[in-house]
Structures are given as structure tokens and as C-alpha cells.
Chain A
Amino acid sequence: ETGVTQSPTHLIKTRGQQVTLRCSSQSGHNTVSWYQQALGQGPQFIFQYYREEENGRGNFPPRFSGLQFPNYSSELNVNALELDDSALYLCASSFGQGKYGYTFGSGTRLTVV
């Protein structure tokens, strides 16, 4: 079975721009979550999608938004990028809303300059 794949692996954006990160969930998984991991910190929960609907959100502003598609892949969109948005963004998938844990992708390293 394939794991969780994320694209791109790295990108550099300018402050004020918009960015879209993509995630393909593991086969058989219907739940996707996104996490932000700043340098030297643990991952912070952004939001979760289950059956194409957002069903949980962390302490992140509305300029962080997402989508889940019928094939359970997902996008994370960030508008009006700020320097503090520079981080590793991790996508994680699970079956049944993550009760028994998530499978994480390798992440997208976003640098905002």
C-alpha cells in the first residue's frame, strides 16, 4: 500500500503571496489532518477533514484553509503569507477520524521571505 505523499517538498514564497500544498492520503484512509511544525517545535494541529468536511480546527487564522476531495486527497491553502508561516507542513491520514493514530507524510518545507 502507498503511504502519504506530499507535494512540493520545498518551496520559497514572498510575504503576502498565497500558497497551496497538496497531499495524497494512504490507500483506504478517509481522514486527513494538517499540522504545522516550526523549527525546534512539535507539530501544531491546523485542521482535519473527514468525508470532505472540516470537522476540527486548531488555533490558526482563517487565512489557513483547506479542501478534501472525493478521493480523500487534500489541499492546504495559506493566503497573505507572513514570515512566521515558515515551517514544515505535515499531512497525516487515517481511517475513521484518527482514533488509532495517523500516518504522516514527509512534509513540505515552506520558507517565506
Chain B
Amino acid sequence: AQSVTQLGSHVSVSEGALVLLRCNYSSSVPPYLFWYVQYPNQGLQLLLKYTTGATLVKGINGFEAEFKKSETSFHLTKPSAHMSDAAEYFCAVNPGAGSYQLTFGKGTKLSVIP
């Protein structure tokens, strides 16, 4: 069975600083990996995804993530935080191989300090 661990339930960064949100996964097969963002009282918005090919994936709003198979990680980064980035971020894994449900981590709430 697959699982997702997000280190840090709450991360605070200063405006303009690097954003790094950590995600580690376990999966018995090469997975598909996703990052979603959730603003208060809203649904989930897809930031980026890794399925196959290039391991460095670029998403919306300046975010990117790198799939590292040897470390079973898919950390999310952004060079310079903006106030509008304050939200909750979820990492999710889809094991593929005929099973397409998403398994989510518990989420990391990002606060941006002016």
C-alpha cells in the first residue's frame, strides 16, 4: 500500500524567502506524484504533477518539484515566497498499475510573514 509523509504540519517563511515543503512517499511501483494547494474554504487546485520523463517538474505560480526515486521524495520549492502563497499544500501519490486513487499526505500549512 502506498503512503505519503509530509514533514512539518506548519511552515513559516518570510516574504521573498525560499519555500521548501517536504514530501516522502512509499509505493511498491513507480508512482505518479502530485502537489495540490488548498485555500481556505475551497477545493484543491493542482500545482504540478510527475508521471514520467523529466524528474524536475515545473508548475503554476512559480512552484517546482523534483522526483528523487533513490530518496523516495518529491519536495516542493519556490525561490521567492509571495503573500498569496499562504495556503495549505498537499502531496499525493497515485500508484498507477490499474489503481488510480490518490493517497494524500496530511498537509502542510504555509504562512508567509511580511
Question: Hey, which bits of chain A sit against chain B, CB under 8 A?
Answer: 4, 31, 33, 35, 40-45, 48, 56, 58, 90, 92, 94, 97-107
Chain B residues with CB under 8 Å of A48's CB are 100-101
Q: Total contacts A to B, CB within 8 angstroms?
A: 66
Chain B residues with CB under 8 Å of A31's CB are 100
Chain A residues with CB under 8 Å of B82's CB are none
Chain A residues with CB under 8 Å of B44's CB are 43, 90, 92, 104
- Main SS class of interface, A: loop
A109 to nearest B CB, angstroms? 8
- Main SS class of interface, B: strand
Q: B94 near A: Cβ within 8 Å?
A: yes
Chain A residues with CB under 8 Å of B43's CB are 4, 90, 104-107
Chain A residues with CB under 8 Å of B90's CB are 42-43
Give the residue name and chain of the B residue nearest to A48 (CB): B101
Give the residue name and chain of the A residue nearest to B45 (CB): A104
**CB distance B102 to A102 under 8 Å?**
yes
Q: B46 near A: Cβ within 8 Å?
A: yes
Chain A residues with CB under 8 Å of B32's CB are 99-101
